[in-house]
Structure 1
Amino acid sequence: MSTKQKISWVPIAIIGTLVLILGFNSTYTVQEKEVALVTTFGKVTDENTQGLHFKWPWPVQKVEKVDANKTHRIEIGFRQDGDKVSTVGNEALMITGDENIVWADAIVEYNISNVRNYLYNTDSPENFLGNATVASIRTVIGSKNLDYVITEGKTEIQAEVKDLLIASNDLYNTGIHILDVKFQDIEPPEGEVSKAFMAVTDAREEKITKINAAEKHRNQVIPKARAAANAAEEEALSQKTERINDAKGEVQEFNAIYSEYVKNPGITKKRLILETIEKVYPKSKIFIVDSKGNTVNYLTLNDLMKK
């Protein structure tokens, strides 16, 4: 073959290669459970299901395939790799409504109901779903008591978590359809986590006990102090009233005596002297001698007062 003939085949080979490349890049196959989204210069222009389809080569058109009709699952609180299972503490750790700690492991099953929303409404649909699931579980378990959570409450908790999860996905139009929420285990933790939590719980309970004791003491002391203060005030008022009344009585008595004294100074003076003597010697017999007669007469003070 001459050099001229060899050169003439080169363009044909190049063109043939380009045709093959373009042909290969212009077709794509969508599997049974897949849905393909076609974008033209970055804008969604088509959505295709199972079968062989054609498109313009890149960069004109691009195809993204999603297992939309397949049941997917995410694991919360644990990860399973074959027979190996590991705990994810930041997902599994939950606080109950009565402030106890539990581990909660769950599985969420879902499929993709809207491929466009799934691909373009969130940066990472699976991360969103995982975070929303953890938040929903914490919300529900946080409203229940420990005994209920670890005994008969599992079914109800699953239903409530599913409802919250559906609401979250609907709110953000994630394109995810929640099929089921299943708890593997809900149980109190063991080991160091349990010890640390119990230490915090004990400290909090001790604090509450001391506060209650102080409040009880306060409730006992303050009423007693108030009662004592009220009693002292009442006693002072009583003494004040008594002394005022005594003073008023003495004034009235003095005024009465003075009035009599003005009328009969001699008799009043004599009476006052006799009353004073009687007060000084209340039990003594006092004899008063009348010096006008030769005979010694005597009178008791009581007899004299009767006169």
Structure 2
Amino acid sequence: MNFMNQEPGGGAAGPTPVPNPNRKPPEIKPGTVRNIVIGIVAVIVLFYLGSTSFYTVQEQERAAVLTFGKYTHETGSGLHFKWPSPIQEVRIVPAELTQRITIGYREKGNTVTPVEDEAMMITGDENIVSADAVVTWKIHNIRNYLHNISDPEQFLRNSASASIRSVIGSQKLDYAITDGKTAIQDLVREKLIELQNKYETGIQIIDLKFQDIEPPGGEVEEAFRAVTNAREEKNTKINVAMKYENERIPKARGEAQALIEQAEAEKKSRVLNAEGDVAKFNAIFSEYVGNPSVTQNRLILETLEKILPNAQIFITNGDGDTVNYLPLNELLRKEATGDEN
């Protein structure tokens, strides 16, 4: 009778297998190893091709494609295919984005940090002035932007600072901090654009605006601020005076023209009256020449009527004893009423 082996725990167990020292492990065929290696290499190649042959360009970006390091073409936003590196490379730049840099200070969030080395400069009359500016720009030519300058932003900052120093260095301090700010700003913008074109940086300058042009702080700043306030007050008074002048001169011209027209009318009226008087006198004179006594008597009577409008006129002849009476008033009254009796 065979008894089964007992486990230490008292449970029954099957017979323990005994390894065969003469048994060989399964053999792997050489073709299988080759296929595995080829599969791994193929996966790696496909992953490499997929990761280097497709690229995505965002809306505000453009991509320059370089074939063996030479610029060939550009692509816009979207998903694009290229030959894998090192055959073709892609450099993506924010060509559709308007960018800005500051000169004389830096902004980080709500914090503004002055940069004295950029802001301080000497004017044409050997005074020190502080100038802060903002330059707005964008990429105009990607090929020039990537190949002609190594650090575009630093080049733009240096060229803007050089342009500002060049223009302010030829102006007087008083002019730079008062009336000349706008003119200096335009000159600096033109000079900065000229530098970008000269070196073919591919950068388009959209605008340049000064934030401040002022002398250094302290007593000098207070003195120039007083000068600026006085100049502004002067300009205000000049503008008020010019406004008053513009209001009064047209009004005075109108009044003068009215007086001239009134005098001309008075002149014409008097000339016409004088001509009428002359014509009347000539008519009376011609009648007087024909019959002087009658005309003379009539003139006397008309004059008496004007002098004594309410007097009764009697014409008598005192040569004889009998008074001859001519009732002129009754005759005139009858003549006026049309009574012929």
TM-score under structure 2 normalisation? 0.53
Does 1:120 pair with 2:152? no
Return the alpha-carbon distance in structure 2 between the equivalents of residues 29 and 154 of structure 1: 45
Return the alpha-carbon distance in structure 2 between the equivalents of residues 171 and 163 of structure 1: 12
Q: Which structure 2 residues correspond to residues 13-92 of structure 1 after superposition, within 5 A?
A: 13-92=40-119
Instruction: Give the secondary-structure state (helix, strand or coil) at the position aligned to 2:212.
Output: strand
Change (3 A) 1:2 1:23: farther
Aligned to 2:198: 171
Aligned to 2:131: 104
TM-superposed deviation, 1:72: 1.2
Return the alpha-carbon distance in structure 2 between the equivalents of residues 14 and 173 of structure 1: 46
Return the alpha-carbon distance in structure 2 between the equivalents of residues 126 and 106 of structure 1: 15
Identity of aligned residues (%): 54
Q: Which has the higher helix share?
A: 1
Instruction: Give the secondary-structure state (helix, strand or coil) at the position aligned to 1:169.
Output: helix
Residue type of the partner of 2:84?
P
Residue type of the partner of 1:176?
I
TM-score under structure 1 normalisation? 0.59
Return the alpha-carbon distance in structure 2 between the equivalents of residues 142 and 14 of structure 1: 66
Deviations 1:44-97 (A, max 9, x none): 122111111111111111110111111111111111112222221221111122
Does 1:139 pair with 2:158? no
Does 1:187 pair with 2:214? yes
Return the alpha-carbon distance in structure 2 between the equivalents of residues 20 and 119 of structure 1: 29
Deviations 1:95-123 (A, max 9, x none): 12222111101110100100000111122
Residue type of the partner of 1:139?
S
Return the alpha-carbon distance in structure 2 between the equivalents of residues 32 and 111 of structure 1: 15
Aligned to 2:260: none
Aligned to 1:129: 156
Return the alpha-carbon distance in structure 2 between the equivalents of residues 77 and 153 of structure 1: 19
Aligned to 1:220: none
Return the alpha-carbon distance in structure 2 between the equivalents of residues 81 and 2 of structure 1: 68
Residue type of the partner of 1:102?
V
Residue type of the partner of 1:57?
P
Residue type of the partner of 2:112?
V
Instruction: Give the secondary-structure state (helix, strand or coil) at the position aligned to 2:159.
Output: helix
Residue type of the partner of 1:19?
L
Return the alpha-carbon distance in structure 2 between the equivalents of residues 187 and 156 of structure 1: 15
Q: Which runs of 5+ in 2 are unaligned?
A: 1-25, 222-341
Aligned to 1:160: 187
Residue type of the partner of 1:146?
L
Residue type of the partner of 2:155?
F
Return the alpha-carbon distance in structure 2 between the equivalents of residues 79 and 70 of structure 1: 20
Deviations 1:152-189 (A, max 9, x none): 32222111110000011111111000001011111111
Residue type of the partner of 1:46?
H
Residue type of the partner of 2:104?
G
Aligned to 2:268: none
Return the alpha-carbon distance in structure 2 between the equivalents of residues 15 and 187 of structure 1: 68
TM-superposed deviation, 1:143: 2.0
TM-superposed deviation, 1:13: 3.5
Q: Which structure 2 residues correspond to residues 218-297 of structure 1 after superposition, within 5 A?
A: none
Residue type of the partner of 1:154?
K
Change (3 A) 1:184 1:6: farther
Count of aligned positions: 194
Instruction: Give the secondary-structure state (helix, strand or coil) at the position aligned to 1:190.
Output: coil
Query: Bigger CA drift: 168-177 or 40-49?
Result: 40-49
Residue type of the partner of 2:97?
K
